[in-house]
Structure 1
């Protein structure tokens, strides 16, 4: 059996990783090289792009806003072999360098819960793009690959039947595998005058934040299934979305 690595080794990105290999409720595994999550791609080298293509990437979904893309363009815009989509998510979930005036007392899970409430049309659009993507792997990403990307990942894994403990573990992986990325974002934010305590809160990937989001979805939407149904996404789309991340029978 082919062995896969969850983290895709790249020179210009540090948090591109696979959602494959997770156990599902029916005893199966999520499919490798079908859906990947990631951080900013603007520093990818030509070799990095070839690596992603060799790993089957044929669709890229950029979750960043217009300001972020203007400052750090996506290398897959107009690419001959990749379908590129831009669906901005979570405008309230600003990049750390834009949060100098935020209160140090806030919790990242509050932002996630707010986004779950306020960004439903955009979330539905992202899920539909993934469900309807052509053959090949889908890569969706933001800037750090943990907040906007983390919420979408949680919804995808839950829809595929992955349990809550594993969803939390997947979220927390950023803290253990993305040291260079987090260090760069931290230095940049501190250079802009953002308080140290706030930077550390925003850049953390503590399990608590995803635990709180899952609790919020359970209490306010009757769980992930209820939330996904409430998005207005057609049943067939959710079925295709789950099948895309699951092994074929």
Structure 2
């Protein structure tokens, strides 16, 4: 985590009403390029943003919000006031945890990419359709459903697995103020006392990425499997990647990560 902590202040967007908003730009790829700053933001729920935070969101140039939650997790209409396009594509219903308890977070993530392929297809079609726009995708905590989509985007352009895992693990730091509240909610709403579902350990993401590569070859293979065309994948890569320049830590292109 040491490397990521050096640069996370630049990528984190601090706003009242939310805790886990961050830019996934500035990450180096295996080809020596970087993910684009200001293009993709991952977030926890933003349905309770006060007015000043809504303005800050607009200042980031967000043109599309993809809400991965189910309706019972909270609704909002401020996107209409700000002129931001909003799409709700529910990826996984947390209410199902009461009757369909996963053995682990890894089990949950693997199940999602295996059984929610139509929803993931729709999510990526929505991203592809909004070329040139900054996009924010979010769920309730910005950790699980959001983490899966972020991992697919980053793996698609060749960001190293260790970096993807470190980005995923940042949620543990950002969500720390909500830990007790999330524990109580997990127990009250879903009858679950095992708090490992609240964690975001880097090894969980590493195991998930291993599963993705073993079963689908990689994120590109997965997207092809669910129906994204080769041309659409190339368009998506261009949206994620920017030209070689300084990364999140202020290092030059030829310096080690």
Q: What TM-score results when the alignment is normalised by the length of structure 2?
A: 0.85
Deviation, 1:8, is 0.3
Task: Give the count of matched residue pairs.
Answer: 237
Runs of 4+ in 1 over 4 A off after TM superposition: 100-103
Taking a change above 3 Å as real, the CA distance of residues 56 and 217 of structure 1, as seen in their structure-2 partners, is same
Q: How many angstroms apart in 2 are the aligned matches of 1:89 and 1:232? A: 17
Pairing 1:43–2:48 present: yes
Q: How many angstroms apart in 2 are the aligned matches of 1:17 and 1:181? A: 17
5 Å-filtered alignment, 1:10-89, equals 10-68=15-73, 72-89=74-91
Q: How many angstroms apart in 2 are the aligned matches of 1:106 and 1:218? A: 21
- The aligned residue for residue 11 of structure 2 is 6
Q: How many angstroms apart in 2 are the aligned matches of 1:236 and 1:79? A: 34
Q: How many angstroms apart in 2 are the aligned matches of 1:161 and 1:220? A: 17
Taking a change above 3 Å as real, the CA distance of residues 83 and 192 of structure 1, as seen in their structure-2 partners, is closer
Q: How many angstroms apart in 1 are the aligned matches of 2:167 and 2:234? A: 22
Secondary structure (helix, strand or coil) at the match of 1:153 reads helix
Deviation, 1:237, is 1.6
Deviation larger for 155-164 or 143-152: 155-164
Secondary structure (helix, strand or coil) at the match of 1:186 reads helix
Root-mean-square deviation (Å): 2.1
Deviation, 1:29, is 1.2
Q: Deviations over 1:83-122 (max 9, x none)?
A: 000111024xx26xx635666x821100100111111111
Name structure 2 gaps, 5 residues minimum.
Answer: 1-7, 245-257
Q: Deviations over 1:177-214 (max 9, x none)?
A: 22123333223334457343x2x111100122212211
5 Å-filtered alignment, 1:145-160, equals 145-160=142-157
Q: How many angstroms apart in 2 are the aligned matches of 1:23 and 1:193? A: 39
Pairing 1:201–2:203 present: no
Deviation, 1:151, is 0.3
Deviation, 1:222, is 1.9
Q: What TM-score results when the alignment is normalised by the length of structure 1?
A: 0.87
Secondary structure (helix, strand or coil) at the match of 1:139 reads strand
2:242 pairs with one of 228, 241, 247: 247
Name structure 1 gaps, 5 residues minimum.
Answer: none
